[in-house]
Amino acid sequence: MTENSLLFQDETSEKYFRFSTKWITCLFIQKILKQLEKNNPKIILDVGCGTGYITDIINRSMDANIICCDMNSNRISFAKTQFHLETIIADITHLPFKNSSFDMVLAIEIIEHLPNIESALNEIKRVTKKNIIITVPNDPYFMIANFLRGKNLKSFGNPPDHINHFNKKTLKSILSKYYLKGEISKNAFLWLIANVYK
């Protein structure tokens, strides 16, 4: 079985390979890379990395040391064996790192899944020296796009594991409680990307 076919079977990675979504997820990843290049971090933590697909692209695109973590042991094992990434099983609300350990922390499509956003935001703030990039679905557009392609029809396009929903205003409101400054912009229209600072 090829690497791509294994990724296609994982629900967190398959959108990067489907014909109907591959083009827009490529735009999504390119925007993340541009934000990273702007900050030029040398030590990066990717929390909730899943299979490590995006982490690997970042790793190959930048001159930086990257550690990735996730709570799912199968996905972490895949990231380690397939992409040869430095991995650790860890909970975003209890990260096993000292204060200010990283130049940049990435939380890509994570906080929409979390019952305790506050603990997660405090923890990623604690372990970064300065910069944090957070991406979330841009609702309701993300849900509308899902519905139009026939996905999650019973919940009107909302994935069952998305328990938090954001637009630009609501994301700015919650992030402003934890971070001094930053910018939020659309990412490939269906997502929002926040580049924030301690």
Q: What is the DSSP string of 38-63?
A: HH--SEEEEET-TTSHHHHHHHHHSS
Q: Write out the two tokens for 11.
A: 């629900």
Return the pLDDT at 1. 45
Calpha distance 78→71 (Å, rounded): 13
> CB–CB of 33/58 below 8 Å?
yes
pLDDT in tens, the chain (198 residues): 445 555 666 767 778 877 778 899 999 999 999 999 999 999 999 999 999 999 999 999 999 999 999 999 999 999 999 999 999 999 999 999 999 999 999 999 999 999 999 999 999 999 999 999 999 999 999 999 888 888 888 888 888 889 999 999 999 999 999 887 899 999 989 999 999 998
Number of compact structural domains in the chain:
1
> Strand runs (DSSP E) across the chain, as ranges?
43-47, 65-70, 86-89, 102-108, 128-137, 181-187, 191-197
Domain extent, residue 73, equals 3-197
CATH number at residue 101: 3.40.50.150
Nearest to 30 by CA among 10, 66, 58: 58
pTM tops 0.85, yes or no: yes
Coil, strand, or helix at residue 90?
coil
Residue 8 confidence (pLDDT)? 62
